Structure 1
Amino acid sequence: MTRTPKNLLIIMSDEHNPKMLGCAGHPIVETPNLDRLAARGTRFRSAYCTSPVCIPARASFAVGKYIHQMGYADNADAYDGVVPSWHHKLRERGHRVVSIGKLHFREEGEDHGFSDEVIPMHIIEGKGDLMGLVRSDLPVRKGAYKMANLAGPGESQYTFYDREITARAQVWLREAAARHDDKPWVLFVSFVAPHFPLTAPPEHFYKYYDRDLPLPKLYARHERPDHPYLVDYRSSFNYDDYFDAAKLKKALAGYYGLCSFLDENIGKVLQALSDAGLADDTRVLYTSDHGDNLGTRGMWGKSTMFEEAAGVPLIMAGPDIPAGKVIDTPASHVDAYPFILEAVGVDEPALRDGFPGVSLNDLAGGEKPSRNVLVEYHGMGSATGAFMIRHKQYKYIYYVDYPPQLFDLAADPEEIRDLAPEPTSAAVLNECHQRLLAICDPVAVDNKVRQRQAELLEANGGRDLVIQRGDLGFSPPPGAAIVFD
């Protein structure tokens, strides 16, 4: 189908668990603006990031390739603009491409491909999370206490930053957009919520705190799965050591409240788009860089292959996009790359050669590609490389140094029962592994990433100095104080 070139508004959040949406059926979280966006557009029910941690996920979204194809594999190896992005390619063809908010690229002064970067948030000191380079005898994160202790009502560095992002986006749509009408523009608005600290504005926090909240799934210690990869993560990112019943409730209410705060800000941006008379000439894409475990299985943060962390919300709406449609075919962030090019009218076949994505337009139109979507993880809190593919109803997770996992998402959507140890799963495991090998050689990829990490670790003084430098807990927004723990 030929689509008329239109403007494109991309909204990205940070660490938004895909289940935490009203339109996804969550019984508690209220997201009316995103629900309305989904109702007038298409929502992808099985969408995934390419790596469940900020820097690789955001680099991959920019470049349109998987981690093993491009590098930028962990939170100490940020995108530097060397590998061309869709930002570069659209700007080169005369399109205005503007970012407002979090990018988490290496540093200002580099050419990341945008026409303008407005109040960008990049990694700390151009180095990021150096502790993630330590992949053996994993250090315990000293900043883990912040997850529990900062949860509650109020404002944080991040909520103030998101308010400023919202304001700048509204101003750009009302004032600057009209000055760039010669070719379709792309505005990339990138929020931090609901990433912790789990400090939510009171009007959103108490909406959830003043009611009974169920415990996270498999939260009790005797319920938690003991796969060694998960034990490694819980031991290094020992967030849950600082929780009691009272702090747990505050954390849940804080995260839910930040989801509603995010939704409020998205509503303001979408209203500005409408008030500026641009809604009929602009497509909208919403997603998050990755999800959040939110206490499930005793884990907080990201870094796992479960739906809560590796899955992402993915909604698109606007001209020529089917309304009220929900797509079950697995989708990936790499599928955004061809969609973005198409959305603004760039249809040069050469720009898609060598790229793994299937356009979201094609998936929304009913295409069911034979490919398998891939998620990789090589970063903080992991002693081994992890690779996940979706094949039919199955999720297959391969660990280079640990036993695999296998889940039947049709029969077990909450991923309670790992089928991998069962003898009857041998054929499915073999089929899934062969399909993974058709995408990449996981052992070779793991070796290459570890070599790069060893080089970066040595360049930054070695293991002891990196651990002594400490852990931020979360990256500071522009102008905020830097405090290592």
Structure 2
Amino acid sequence: MLRILFLSTPVLLALGGLLTATGAAAAEAPAKTGQPNILFVFTDDQAVDTIRALGNSEIQTPNFDRLVASGTTFTRCYNMGSWSPAVCIASRSMLLSGRSVWRAQKIYDTAEQEREAGRWWPAYFKAAGYRTYLTGKWHVKASPEKSFDVVRHVRPGMPRDTPEGYNRPLSDAEDAWSPSDPKLGGYWQGGKHWSEVVADDAVDYLRQASAEADPFFMYIAFNAPHDPRQSPREFVEMYPPEKISLPGNFLPEYPFKDLIGCEPALRDEKLAPFPRTPHSIRVHRSEYYAIVSHLDRQIGRILDALKESGKQDNTWIFFTADHGLAVGHHGLVGKQNLYDHSVRVPFVAVGPQAVAGERIDAAIYLQDVMPTALELAGVAKPDHVDFHSILPLIRKETTQSSYSAVYGAYLGLQRMVESDGFKLIVYPKANRLRLYHLAEDPLEKHDLADDPRYRPQILRLAKALRENQERTGDSLSLASLLPAE
């Protein structure tokens, strides 16, 4: 019997009629023989450069490294963007509904109706005979208790923060914030660090599942490493700020910040002082690494519990994050931008057909995990789902992405398209295009938009952006900025 841990892996099942392609759940559950378990591990604000095995030699992540070594890593995984400064809301709405960003916005306030109609990720697993579990961050407007069979410790968008956590550290003043002091609340609200609580729940769920015949779908959603970036002293002391490198694209201030929605009043950007100083960014990055390493330890506990459950061989694990984070890249701190540090995330699939240690460069969206997991469960992709299964890539049936270009958006202030090693960013309010050759400039430091030699690339990407706007229902007019074909 195959089980799936949500870190992703596909299994072909001839269970025709399990669900109709309209999105409504079928009345009869299919036979469970052959259905894999799915373990979905979801983190918050975790950028693609926070895992040692993926190239960051300063951070310690032995259990994330363990996942990378055990499964298939997608090196170009993206979040499509957001209609809200709370990017996680849009990311999770897309994930659970299967809709692209602007279509997900339309159903955000009626998510409970989507759940009732069966057009909801866990609803399909329930109809397919799965036992479903949730712990951790939710942040959408559908009932978590009605979405899953077993629910514990549903968390809000972020732990409660305090004024001491903002505009810090200042070079000429003592820092009132301590990332390891439980008295400041945040992740310690309730008496135990939230990441440890999520891992406790996941371990307990796996113990329950080991004694059950039904396949399981576990949605394990950490708030970490979202700010306030708190972790026990042991982890904070692993990363002395003076030993932390600045990002290679560090800037004291991003020149267009006020015109792209990243002004000093934005909550995320208020965390560090303006202009950014090397000291403040090193401190923030050291605390970011610390909470990631603490999170990594919890991931190890879950992986160990899966092995002990006896279900590991029949489980797909899918690990990803809702979006990335700047933490000093380009003079920015938050995720409300379209640079790779904020739109790219880690994505690892571990399962029966995933090749251990493999890297795949074909572009995907993190929300592709939704139709991927449904395919593994034998559920036909519903008509309303805009994302695509990545099983053909994992199975080596193709090497081509389902997307000819990667599209990204933030409010009405930023648009992005990436294709064939180039990225075009559009700032309507700033009346500005930015062009980067990612193949040669992965840190996006050298803007080529004003170089006439790159006019063909701009024309090609402008056409791709218009096509993706039409495809996703993006009504923002860019006619005054994008060159004609």
Using structure 1 for the length normalisation, give the TM-score: 0.78
Matched, 1:260 2:286: no
Which residue of 69, 72, 79 corresponds with 2:103? 69
Matched, 1:9 2:9: no
Q: Deviation at 1:152? A: 3.2
Q: Does the residue aligned with 2:423 lie in a helix, a strand or coil?
A: strand
- Equivalent residue, structure 2, for 1:104: 139
* Equivalent residues, number: 418
1:14-33 correspondence runs (5 A) = 14-33=44-63
- Equivalent residue, structure 1, for 2:209: 177
- Equivalent residue, structure 2, for 1:201: 232
Q: Deviation at 1:168? A: 1.0
Q: Residue 315 and residue 443 in structure 1: after superposition, are their counterparts in 2 closer, same or farther (change >3 A)? A: closer
Contact 1:37 1:315 in 2 (8 A): yes
Which residue of 395, 403, 415 corresponds with 2:423? 395
Q: Does the residue aligned with 2:129 lie in a helix, a strand or coil?
A: coil
Report Cα offsets for 1:144-186 as digits up to 9, x if no partner: 7266564533445325122111111111111x2135423x211
- Equivalent residue, structure 2, for 1:163: 196
Q: Tell me how large the CA RMSD over aligned residues is.
A: 3.0
Contact 1:106 1:122 in 2 (8 A): no
Q: Deviation at 1:419? A: 1.8
- Equivalent residue, structure 2, for 1:89: 124
Contact 2:164 2:177 in 1 (8 A): no
Return the letter of the residue paired with 2:427: Y
Q: Residue 13 and residue 311 in structure 1: after superposition, are their counterparts in 2 closer, same or farther (change >3 A)? A: same
Matched, 1:145 2:166: yes
Q: Residue 168 and residue 46 in structure 1: after superposition, are their counterparts in 2 closer, same or farther (change >3 A)? A: same
Q: Which structure has greater helix proportion?
A: 1
Matched, 1:241 2:268: no
- Equivalent residue, structure 1, for 2:443: 414
- Equivalent residue, structure 2, for 1:432: 461
CA distance in 2, matches of 1:420, 1:70: 32
Return the letter of the residue paired with 1:28: E
Which residue of 293, 297, 312 corresponds with 1:279? 312
The share of aligned pairs that are identical, in percent, is 25
Matched, 1:334 2:367: yes
Q: Does the residue aligned with 1:286 lie in a helix, a strand or coil?
A: strand
- Equivalent residue, structure 2, for 1:295: 328
Contact 2:251 2:329 in 1 (8 A): no
Contact 2:135 2:220 in 1 (8 A): yes
Structure 2 unpaired stretches of 5+? 1-10, 14-33, 170-175, 478-485
- Equivalent residue, structure 1, for 2:246: 215
Q: Deviation at 1:105? A: 1.5
CA distance in 2, matches of 1:95, 1:444: 34
Q: Does the residue aligned with 2:461 lie in a helix, a strand or coil?
A: helix
Q: Residue 109 and residue 251 in structure 1: after superposition, are their counterparts in 2 closer, same or farther (change >3 A)? A: closer
CA distance in 1, matches of 2:243, 2:144: 48
Contact 2:198 2:222 in 1 (8 A): yes
Return the letter of the residue paired with 1:169: A
Q: Residue 253 and residue 142 in structure 1: after superposition, are their counterparts in 2 closer, same or farther (change >3 A)? A: closer
CA distance in 2, matches of 1:291, 1:407: 19
CA distance in 2, matches of 1:142, 1:437: 42
CA distance in 1, matches of 2:110, 2:335: 17
Contact 1:56 1:67 in 2 (8 A): yes
Q: Residue 193 and residue 150 in structure 1: after superposition, are their counterparts in 2 closer, same or farther (change >3 A)? A: farther
CA distance in 2, matches of 1:437, 1:320: 37
